[in-house]
Structures are given as structure tokens and as C-alpha cells.
Amino acid sequence: MRIGIIGTGVAGSLLAEGLEGFDVTAFERVAPGDQAEAGTGLNIGPNALKALRLNRTARHAALRAASLPWQRWFIDLADGTRLFNLDLREVAEEPGVRIRWSELYRLLRAPVAGCTRSAHALEALEEDAAGRLVPVFRTPGGLVRDGGFDLLVGADGRYSRLRSLAAGEPEGTLLGVCIWRLLVTEAGDCPYDDYGQWFNGNARLLSFRVPGGAVYIAGTFPLGIDRQIPDAMKTAAAQRALFTPADAPPCPAVAWMLAKIDAHVAEIHWARSAIVPVLRHALDGRALFLGDAAQAMVPTLGQGATQAVECGVIAANVLRAGGDAAAVATARDQRVEFVRQFSMESSDTLLPPVDVQAGTAKKRQPDYLAKLRKLYTEVV
């Protein structure tokens, strides 16, 4: 079987590494070295680390070495009132990690560099006489074809070109929440370390340190009925007003973040939180989708890249055992549906009329913690 992988992000790189000995070619749209500092930071859940520990021990060790441990999750009000403080080892077998996107890409792509063709952007799909899929790529030298593939894997992210060519553009559902992201590199005086969230009403800051002395900050706030991000909100003054308590000064952590927003507002990446329907395969099983290309979800529990890890590892196991795209769906889709629904449930405090303190109190209850334990430990 000849397998082509579109995209060498998290799922694509892990799949390519797991199919050693197969006839595999991976295609990446960026050139080698491009976007070395792209992106910001992310947290990867204990379930991804378990998947790697059980199946890719070298990658598990490399990820641990390149990251900081994610050991705690705390939730405060913007004035510093603590609502929730969880040691992840109460619900997981090992901590998660905190890392920069650029470093994650580096360590996952290195083992598959030999089978990767860079600067190949998928342009179109054709078929050969045997009914195999022939991807057409735009490269710096023009359009190129690399013959037919028995299986094409779309691991090219939320806006997957392979998925759109094989099955049409998915219809996304906006959740009415703006999410913005910022990486602060001058962060030696940051007054916190591990994964924290700070609420002012339903507006939330999320932040943690990542390697290299940097700090990742993300903000969310509810949008109006038109689901658009007003330009007026993309200012330091508007964000300061959004996250400053009405009747108390901001706690030191929030004050530090507000100062960084003031200094770096022009560098913030703005987006709207959305989901798309799950699609695991198309074209009679000749196209398979993994990670965000298959299952883009809300980022509340940090399961985007985490589920991409699970996808890459488990899909490789299934294909090595002789399975096909349908077998990957059997192995993944029920698990993904649980994660998507639990992530949506955990997003309740981001939107009115949910009261943040009441919603957070539910996260301390046994049934919620049991779901966290299922999320973090029930990995194939």
C-alpha cells in the first residue's frame, strides 16, 4: 500500500514515524526552516503523553525533555479569589506538558524528514487508471504530481485542503466566543508558572510558562449576536477594561498580563471559537482525516493537539495491523465524540448566563473529576 500524508503537523508526523517500513511520502506546504518561531504555546494533556509512552517511547522522552511539566490546573477570579485548584496526578497517570509550537514541530518532524517533501501545497486531486488518488501540488517550481496513492491522509489542520477537495468545505458552527493568543518572550518577572485561568464575569484569561523563558497568554470573551469580533475590542484599553474587576484591583497575575497586553496588543492573533462536524474518511476510504482535519473542537480542555497525538499514534497502529480508514474510524470516533462533548460541557463558564463561580464549583464534583480521569487515562 502506498500512503501519502498531507501535512506534517502533530498527527501527520506521528503517523509517518509509526509507519516505518511502509511506502510513505509526507508532504508539507512550508519550506524547511519556515515558521521556526510560528505559533505561540500550548499545553498537551496527560492522555497524549500516555499514548506516546505506550507506543512511541523515544517521542515521549523527547517531548518531556523539550517541555515543562503541566502539573496543576487552577481557576481564580480576576481579583485573585481561588475557585479551583487541581493536581493533575489526582486524575491522570502522569503530568501533561507545556511547550512552544515551534519546538513541538521541530521534535516531531525530525524523525520523518527523510520521507517529507517540503514546500508542497496541495492544489487539486486527480485519479490514475487504477483508481488511486493523485494529489497535485503547487511548489516553487510549479505544479507537480507524485503518482497515485492507495491512501491519502489529511493531517493538514482545521482548514484541511484535502478534506475540502474530497468532501467539500465543512460547515462550521461558531460558538459566540472570541479567542485571542499571545506569546510573551520577556517574562522573567511573571508571577506564576503552571496552567491557570482568571475570570472577570465570563471573560477569561488563560496563561502558563513555556520553555525558553516565555509565557503563553490566551483571552476569551463572549461575542454579540452577529458573532463578529468588534474592532473596538482589539485595543489594549478595551482588553484592560474587560479583565479588570469592577470593585477590586486585579490580582498580581492579571495585572502582569494586562501590562503585557498593553505592550504587545499589535502581536495578538484574534479568532472565533468554532467546531466542525467529524469526518474520518471520504472517497470510499481512499482519503483518511486525522487531528483537526477530522475533528476540530473547542480548545477549552486543550485537546486539539492532544487528540492529534492520539490520532497519529492509533492510526499508525491500525494501519500497521492491516486495517483501513473505516477501521481507524472504529478506533477513534467514539473516543473523539466523548472528548468533544466533554470539551463543550467544560466551556459553560465562557458564555452568559452561566455564573462562573457556580459553574466552576461543578468542576470540583466527583462526576466531573471522573470524566477528567476518563479523558486522561482511557487511551488505547
pLDDT, tens digit, 9 for 90 and up, residues 127-179:
999 999 999 999 999 999 999 999 999 999 999 999 999 999 998 899 999 99
Q: Are 1-31+118-172+276-346 and 174-271 equal in CATH topology? A: no
Answer whether 0.85 is exceeded by the pTM.
yes
| Percent share of the chain, pLDDT over 90 | 94
Grid-cell match 501535512, residue found: 7
- Strand segments, DSSP code E, in the chain are 2-6, 23-27, 41-44, 68-70, 72-77, 82-87, 96-100, 116-117, 121-127, 133-139, 142-145, 151-154, 173-184, 195-200, 203-210, 214-222, 269-275, 281-282, 287-289
Query: Each residue of 37-64: pLDDT tens digit?
Result: 467 999 999 999 999 999 999 999 999 9
**If you average pLDDT over residues 186-199, what whole number do you get?**
97
**What confidence category does residue 245 fall into, taking pLDDT thresholds of 50, 70 and 90?**
very high
Does CATH number 3.30.9.30 belong to domain 174-271?
Answer: yes
**If you average pLDDT over residues 81-87, what whole number do you get?**
98
For residue 98, the number of C-alpha atoms closer than 13 Å in the C-beta half-sphere is 23
Please give the pLDDT value at position 39. 73
* The three grid cell numbers given for residue 276, joined into one nine-digit string: 466542525
**What confidence category does residue 31 fall into, taking pLDDT thresholds of 50, 70 and 90?**
confident
The per-residue pLDDT of the chain, averaged, comes to 96
- At residue 35, does pLDDT exceed 90? no
Contacts of 139 (CB under 8 A, 6+ apart): 119, 120, 121
**If you average pLDDT over residues 245-269, what whole number do you get?**
97
**If you average pLDDT over residues 7-32, what whole number do you get?**
96
Grid-cell match 521534535, residue found: 107
What are the residue ranges spanned by the domains of the chain? 1-31+118-172+276-346, 174-271
- At residue 72, does pLDDT exceed 80? yes
Query: Each residue of 321-372: pLDDT tens digit?
Result: 999 999 999 999 999 999 999 999 999 999 999 999 999 999 999 999 999 9
**What confidence category does residue 17 fall into, taking pLDDT thresholds of 50, 70 and 90?**
very high
Please give the pLDDT value at position 34. 67
Please give the Cα distance from 215 to 212 (Å, whole number): 9
Please give the pLDDT value at position 374. 98
Query: Each residue of 312-332: pLDDT tens digit?
Result: 999 999 999 999 999 999 999
**If you average pLDDT over residues 207-219, what whole number do you get?**
97
- Residue 191: Cβ-neighbour burial (10 angstroms; 0-12, 13-18, 19+): exposed
Cis peptide before 222 (omega within 30 of 0): no
Query: Each residue of 94-128: pLDDT tens digit?
Result: 999 999 999 999 999 999 999 999 999 999 999 99
Please give the pLDDT value at position 333. 97
Contacts of 357 (CB under 8 A, 6+ apart): 77, 83
Instruction: Give which of 233, 364, 379 is closest to 314, Cα–Cα.
Output: 379
Q: How far apart are the first and last CA of the chain?
A: 24
| Percent share of the chain, pLDDT over 70 | 98
**If you average pLDDT over residues 198-217, what whole number do you get?**
97
In CATH, what class is 1-31+118-172+276-346? alpha beta
